[in-house]
């Protein structure tokens, strides 16, 4: 049955893509969970990660898998800078202010990137062979993206569960005033969480290029921002773990629904998959705003 064979193949790709989506959304959810700020300039940070991978590979021949750690460190540093320069002053400001400020930061990053690297679409070829699953072929680089994103998510999970600092972050997510009363320096946790969130996002940019090693350009982030919103909501918006699982689900839905929508005559099925994705977002927001995987309603 070619139909099911194709569907299966698409789902395999969907799962890999989903893992990348998941990791790229965790940062967004973490920042929202702790600071209650929606980072509308999310995508441009992914773009920075993609360029990190590109330059490390082209200039120094460093494998993208190794660049992940470089991107993470760069992202952390950038996160601290952005936090202390801008976000810190907006912690208690109305939504409007933070939405606008983060959007402006995003635009600024894009324009700076364009200024430095030009508007070209770049890419790299890191060929390490591929595996034949009989239903489809998968390059090892994509499998590495899949594994890396799971490993990073797991490490983060352990950090949250096993370290004191991680526990403090969890406490702030639960109840920031209560946490402050318990002697937790909430301001420091905000800074740290924001930096980790940005770090994760920049690192996920490297994974994005492992999945799609081409089309790297200053404006590539926009598409990921929109998808990250859908995924974050799927996962409950405030939960990084929810976001990670939701990424998988989203990847599967995106690729799976294409095959199904393709059976409708007279339409553009691929464009409709996006309609499906955004409709899903609305339905979930209305039925269960805490997300498909979210726990109790707040």
Q: Which stretch binds other proteins (CB under 8 A): 95-103, 144-152, 195-203, 241-249?
A: 95-103
- 288 is a contact residue toward other proteins (CB under 8 A): no
- 143 is a contact residue toward other proteins (CB under 8 A): no
- 108 is a contact residue toward other proteins (CB under 8 A): yes
The single residue among 66, 69, 81, 97 that binds other proteins, judged by CB under 8 A, is 97
The single residue among 77, 212, 292, 293 that binds other proteins, judged by CB under 8 A, is 212
The single residue among 60, 61, 127, 263 that binds other proteins, judged by CB under 8 A, is 127
Q: Which is nearer to other proteins, 158 or 214 (CB)?
A: 214
Site for other proteins in 54-73 (CB under 8 A): none
Strand partners of residue 122 = 216
Q: Which is nearer to other proteins, 170 or 222 (CB)?
A: 222
Classify residue 271 as exposed, middle or buried by CB count within 10 Å of its CB (0-12, 13-18, 19+).
exposed
Site for other proteins in 149-178 (CB under 8 A): none
- 133 is a contact residue toward other proteins (CB under 8 A): no
Site for other proteins in 223-242 (CB under 8 A): 223-224, 226-227, 229-230, 232-233, 237
Q: Which stretch binds other proteins (CB under 8 A): 73-81, 146-154, 189-197, 279-287?
A: 279-287
């Amino acid at each position: 049955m070619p139909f099911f064979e194709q569907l299966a193949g698409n789902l395999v790709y969907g799962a890999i893509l989903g893992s990348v989506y998941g990791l790229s959304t965790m940062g967004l959810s973490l920042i929202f969970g702790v600071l209650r700020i929606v980072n509308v300039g999310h995508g441009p940070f992914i773009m920075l990660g993609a360029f990190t991978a590109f330059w490390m590979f082209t200039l120094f021949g460093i494998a993208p898998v190794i660049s992940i750690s470089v991107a993470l460190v760069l992202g952390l540093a950038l996160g601290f800078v952005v936090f202390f320069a801008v976000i810190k002053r907006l912690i208690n400001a109305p939504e409007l202010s933070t939405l606008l400020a983060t959007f402006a930061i995003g635009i600024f990053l894009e324009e700076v990137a364009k200024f430095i690297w030009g508007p070209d679409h770049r890419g790299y070829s890191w060929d390490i062979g591929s595996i034949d699953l009989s239903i489809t072929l998968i390059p090892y680089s994509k499998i590495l993206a899949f594994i890396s994103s799971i490993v990073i998510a797991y490490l983060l999970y352990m950090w949250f569960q096993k370290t004191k600092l991680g526990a403090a972050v969890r406490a702030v997510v639960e109840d920031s005033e209560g946490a402050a009363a318990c002697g937790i320096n909430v301001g420091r946790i905000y800074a740290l969480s924001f930096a980790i969130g940005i770090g994760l996002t920049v690192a996920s940019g490297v994974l994005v290029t492992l999945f799609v090693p081409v089309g790297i350009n200053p404006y590539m982030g926009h598409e990921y921002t929109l998808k990250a919103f859908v995924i974050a909501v799927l996962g409950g918006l405030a939960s990084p773990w929810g976001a990670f699982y939701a990424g998988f689900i989203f990847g599967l839905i995106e690729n799976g629904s294409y095959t199904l929508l393709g059976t409708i005559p007279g339409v553009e099925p691929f464009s409709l998959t996006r309609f499906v994705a955004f409709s899903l977002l609305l339905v979930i927001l209305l039925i269960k705003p805490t997300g498909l995987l979210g726990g109790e309603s707040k």
